[in-house]
Amino acid sequence: MQGEKILITGGAGFIGSHLCKKLLSKENKIFCLDNFYTGSRQNIKPFLNNPNFQLLEKDIIEIFEIEADYIFNLACPASPPHYQKDSIKTMKTSILGIYNLLDIVEKNNARLLQASTSEIYGSPLENPQKESYWGNVNPIGVRSCYDEGKRCAESILVDFYRQKKSDIKIVRIFNTYGPNMAINDGRVISNFIVQALKNENITVYGDGKQTRSFCYIDDLVEGLIKTMESNNFIGPVNIGNPNEMTVLELAELIISLTNSKSKIVHQELPQDDPTNRKPDISLAKLKLKWEPKVDIIEGLEKTIRYFKELTL
């Protein structure tokens, strides 16, 4: 994509701000829409004087008009503390928001990419998770506002594709990390790094044997763009790093990389916390020629440097 008009909802967030930066470098006109519920003005400060960047302080649950060729929908709180803070608003963001964006798609003959999530799979009964797996989700649990909201958004998108031939893409994002993560967002990597830099106890929920697979932000952004640029393929497609590790291994690694004096302490596992996360990325390799390149050590070192600047 070059020289296009691109709407990025949630553009001031962690992922959105990196996507803005990448697409601005290709001479695109970027409309960054954000209500700053979890996004940060600091993330987009470097772009505010760029003539190809326009900030739209709006909420996608409200109807709005815009001319755009492409839409990346990243608008939704993505960490448990944030999406559980106002679960009704989280659900409305996923469902009402996608209807509003599909109206823009129809009026502009635009292409829309939905940032879905590995939480579609719930606490999975298969590992790794393929796109064909329907998931194991608690529909009335404390996480359901996010899990079911994203599942419903996928259903709406595919129905619009079937009935109206809407130009849509669905990406299921697995755990992602890197600079611009919020210091208080509640994600495991940011939590551990901040605790380690402060030499505080590192909080591991449960026995720490639950697994996660962590994808560095640069790899994810490349996967999003490749999906948007693909033809004759709507997904859903997993974008993530299949290198699986336990939460306890992650804590120990971050202590080592930060030379921290932190000790690991265990607390009760939250309700419906997934036991494992590992994407099968065979489809991404086949259809998009995409796979992650940044290993966990390199990615964590870059992320630690970012958080050092924030906390020291």
Give exposure, 88-110, as e/b (b: 16+ Cβ within 10 Å). ebbbbbbbbbbebbbebbeebeb
Among residues 70, 83, 146, 216, the one annotated as catalytic is: 146
3-state helix, strand, coil in the chain (%, to 5): 40, 20, 40
Q: What three-state secondary structure class fits 18?
A: helix
**Distance between CA atoms of 302 and 256, rounded to whole angstroms?**
15
Give whole-number Cα distances, 210 to 152, 251, 267, in Å.
27, 12, 13
Q: Is 146 a catalytic residue?
A: yes
DSSP of 189-250, one letter per residue?
HHHHHHHHHTTPPEEEETTS--EEE-EEHHHHHHHHHHHHH-SS----EEES---EEEHHHH
> Which residues does the annotation mark as catalytic?
146
